[in-house]
Structure 1
Amino acid sequence: MQVLDEDTHGYHFHVMRRALDVIDAQGPSVSLDELASEMNMSPAHFQRVFSRWVGVSPKRYQQYLTLGHAKALLENRFTTLQTAHEAGLSGGGRLHDLFLRWEAMSPGDFARKGEGLTIYWGWFDSPFGPALVMGTDKGLCGIGFASECTEAEAMLDLQSRWPDASYIEALDRLAPWVRSAFGQTKGDVPLFMIGAPFQIKVWEALMRIPSGHVTTYSEIAEFIGHPKAVRAVGTAVGRNPISYLIPC
């Protein structure tokens, strides 16, 4: 007797589409047991099928949606308390934990987005092609490379990290630091790392890794005193804006 695979007939596809509709409609309040019951599955089976089709667990998918909604609210000048309420969270503490877990920064740090900062920028030649370098009066804060993207895309990537900062083109101001950074002259390269305290701890830990050595997110989490924050460490590493000077 031939056993037909339900997936070949789109069965699970349609079930997961219904599950996503339920999550979108009910937000983070709907539990795994409720979702599984509505899909006529056991919780364990539903979790396995959902993770296989969607790529993440139901809980993580709900967190992504909640985080995206919270970001949009903060960008529209909602307070953190209003944002927590509108996002369906029980309070500001839950919102704070959500941002620390997935963005490695607090909601307040996310909302400020470089407000009050003056960032100088310029394009320079580097060993990796055209480099967009940004810095403040205190040091370099961002480097982007245009060898595999357009200059406009590189600019957008860095500016999107601090969208409320003021930007001024100033090659002469940055040039001495840039020449030292790319090994063209000898000299100190001051860094002004703009980020949440947690992110800065991670970036400082990265700079302590000897050249030619490797490490893991979990080892970095242990080193900075947050052994359970492995995912947040990964996020902070990914958001390192000075990837040439701070190793990834």
Structure 2
Amino acid sequence: MTIQTPESRYHYHVMRRALDLIDAAEAPLSLEELASAMGMSAAHFQRLFTQWVGVSPKRYQQYLALGQARALLASRHTVLEAADGAGLSGSGRLHDLFLRWEAMRPGDYARGGDGLLIRWGWFDTPFGRTLAMATDHGLCGMAFAEETGEAAAMADLRARWPKAEYVEAPEAIRQWVDAGFAQKGEARLHMIGAPFQIKVWEALMQVPTGHVTTYSDIAQAIGHPKAVRAVGTAVGRNPVSFLIPCHRALRKSGGLGGYHWGLPVKRAILAWESARTGA
């Protein structure tokens, strides 16, 4: 396992600390106030922050504001089309990177991963330390460990496929992880789940970066309009965080809802995507 260092988590923690400060503030914080709280000069903080998100700290605060989820829902709400029209039956492309995916057969899922070789590794990403797992067909798991801890993230993913064989081999899967976070190149996904879950995850992959949808819209899209609660459960059980964008699913009221790896991570991802798309 790669040793975790303060430097490897720096970007995420700068963003997380800024989020906490902004949430606690009654008014927007100036560049000088934020930089001082981070123990940096204004110029240094501005440069690093802009390098990470592509916009100034002042602009970034707008994306982290408590009302951002509601603003996204009002202005960037994607109403998913019916399943047939949205093409939710096989491989396809995301709006922001080439992403090919295939789903495991239901019978294979029921066997708990028996016969599967899953390679895994730890990676430094914009959202801190990230555990990635992949079969020969593509990434099957991605977990953010900053809120839960590395041991819990590992136990969580391995419990999903308890009979699989696990081998630490980060270099074997690095190209897919890098493609996903760089949003260019080709990443591959291997979705391992029950048929209903896979339908939900396929629907999520139709939501463009910088947009959001609701649990009820997903239920409508997959042909089960009354199964909103079941959809929420399937969203929460998404094993490939970020690439299967469960963070883009909000409550109809505009509330963030839950997030398996911690709400601060969900808000950070939405802010990161919004800053890059001008949402």
TM-score (norm 1): 0.53
Contact between 2:133 and 2:141, CA under 8 Å: does it hold in 1? Answer: yes
- Give the number of the structure whose residues are more often strand, by fraction: 2
Identity of aligned residues (%): 67
For 1:190, what is the secondary structure of its paired residue?
A: strand
RMSD between aligned residues: 1.9
Distance 1:111 1:188, change over 3 A: closer
Structure 2 partner of 1:247: 245
Contact between 2:109 and 2:193, CA under 8 Å: does it hold in 1? Answer: no
Tell me which amino acid in the other structure corresponds to 1:198.
F
Contact between 2:200 and 2:222, CA under 8 Å: does it hold in 1? Answer: yes
Among residues 217, 223, 226, which one is paired with 1:225 in the alignment? 223
**Alignment gaps of 5+ in structure 1:** 1-106
- Give the number of the structure whose residues are more often helix, by fraction: 1
Structure 1 partner of 2:203: 205
Tell me which amino acid in the other structure corresponds to 1:175.
R
Structure 1 partner of 2:38: none
Contact between 2:119 and 2:169, CA under 8 Å: does it hold in 1? Answer: yes
Structure 2 partner of 1:128: 127
* In structure 2, C-alpha distance between the alignment counterparts of 1:178 and 1:243, rounded to whole Å: 11
* In structure 2, C-alpha distance between the alignment counterparts of 1:222 and 1:210, rounded to whole Å: 18
CA offsets 1:123-164 (integer angstroms, 9 cap, x no match):
111111111100000100111122123211110011111111
Distance 1:111 1:136, change over 3 A: closer
Contact between 1:109 and 1:196, CA under 8 Å: does it hold in 2? Answer: no
For 1:133, what is the secondary structure of its paired residue?
A: strand
For 1:192, what is the secondary structure of its paired residue?
A: strand
Report the count of equivalent residues.
141
CA offsets 1:24-56 (integer angstroms, 9 cap, x no match):
xxxxxxxxxxxxxxxxxxxxxxxxxxxxxxxxx
Structure 1 partner of 2:172: 173
Tell me which amino acid in the other structure corresponds to 2:174.
A
* In structure 2, C-alpha distance between the alignment counterparts of 1:214 and 1:170, rounded to whole Å: 34
* In structure 2, C-alpha distance between the alignment counterparts of 1:232 and 1:169, rounded to whole Å: 34
Tell me which amino acid in the other structure corresponds to 2:219.
A
* In structure 2, C-alpha distance between the alignment counterparts of 1:180 and 1:167, rounded to whole Å: 23
Mapped pair 1:163 → 2:138: no
* In structure 1, C-alpha distance between the alignment counterparts of 2:148 and 2:234, rounded to whole Å: 22
**Alignment gaps of 5+ in structure 2:** 1-105, 247-279
Deviating beyond 3 angstroms after TM superposition, the runs of 4 or more aligned structure 1 residues are 107-111
* In structure 2, C-alpha distance between the alignment counterparts of 1:238 and 1:109, rounded to whole Å: 21
* In structure 2, C-alpha distance between the alignment counterparts of 1:186 and 1:212, rounded to whole Å: 16
Mapped pair 1:149 → 2:148: yes
CA offsets 1:98-118 (integer angstroms, 9 cap, x no match):
xxxxxxxxx977752222211
* In structure 1, C-alpha distance between the alignment counterparts of 2:109 and 2:186, rounded to whole Å: 30
TM-score (norm 2): 0.48
